[in-house]
Amino acid sequence: MSGMEPVAERMSLVDQVHARLVDAVCSGDLPPGTPLRQEWLAEELNVSRQPIIQALSMLKRDGLIEPAGKRGFQVTAVDAKTTRHVYDLRAAFDGLAASLAASQPEMIRSQALDKELNAGQLALQAEDMTRLVQADIAFHQSIYELSGNPMLPEASAAVWRQIRRVMRAVLENRTARASVWEEHAGIADAIRQGNAALAETRAVHHARDAADQLIGWMIEKN
């Protein structure tokens, strides 16, 4: 398992173990079906079993892992049904956030999302998958922050953990990569115009289009 460094005492040990495991699951370092044993994880992350037990419970709650065998877990599969459920929620969150962002005063929204769009274009040109995923997430999280509703990022956190797992699959497709950022630009334009209805429509369409592509590829593979 690459990319998982031993945990240092900065934030809560449980929170940091949880964050490290989420990153490993979402990046594919721990692919679907990987067995997760407390003893192995404790040794790998250089912590006691107690924070491992608590972090695994949090991962199970988020649907990232499932019970497997005696006192063990495994990373859950990403299937079409789960993807549809996750993206239905994402469409609702994204639409609300875009609508609220477009309703902000002009001085707040007029230059909004320029930095995020530029970061996406640079990652697109570099064909850097990790940066593309990060830029994509940053774009949408910026809209959540721009919405002015401080509860949106936390309310959608579990959904976005699942989205991180499957987002890479969309971006693996070269054609889809460009269209993703064209749609982002359209959402940003509607927000800057202050057109709440158009911003919501475009954000919802963007999420549903991503879900349709993902599920189509999942069906093809099977």
Out of 8-12, 107-111, 184-188, least confident range: 8-12
Q: Would the pLDDT of 1 be above 80?
A: no
How far, in Å, CA of 136 to CA of 120, rounded?
7
Report the pLDDT value the prediction gives residue 183, as an integer from 0 to 100. 96
Q: State the pTM of this model.
A: 0.81
| 171 is a domain residue | yes
**Mean pLDDT calculated for residue range 206-219:** 87
Rg (CA), the chain: 18
pLDDT band at 158 (very low <50, low <70, confident <90, very high): confident
Give the distance from CA 170 to its chain's centroid: 12
Q: What is the dihedral of CA 76, 134, 213, 118, to 10 degrees?
A: 180
212 or 9, higher pLDDT? 212
The reply to whether 69 and 136 lie within a common domain is no
Report the pLDDT value the prediction gives residue 176, as an integer from 0 to 100. 67
Q: How many residues does the chain have?
A: 222
Report the pLDDT value the prediction gives residue 35, as an integer from 0 to 100. 92
**Mean pLDDT calculated for residue range 117-124:** 93
Helices 157-171 and 80-102: crossing angle in degrees, nearest 10, is: 110
Q: Is residue 11 packed enough to be buried (19+ CB in 10 Å), middle (13-18) or exposed (0-12)?
A: exposed
| 4 is a domain residue | no
How far, in Å, CA of 89 to CA of 161, rounded?
12
Which distant-in-sequence residues (6+ apart) come within 8 Å of 207 by Cβ?
87, 90, 91, 94, 95
Report the pLDDT value the prediction gives residue 3, as an integer from 0 to 100. 61
Q: For residues 31 and 75, is the Cβ–Cβ distance under 8 A?
A: yes
Out of 90-94, 98-102, 127-131, least confident range: 127-131
Please identify, among 60, 75, 90, the residue that sits at the C-terminal boundary of a domain: 75
Percent of the chain with pLDDT over 70: 90
Report the pLDDT value the prediction gives residue 122, as an integer from 0 to 100. 94
The total number of structural domains that make up the chain: 2
Q: Give me the domain span that covers residue 150.
A: 80-221
The reply to whether 70 and 95 lie within a common domain is no
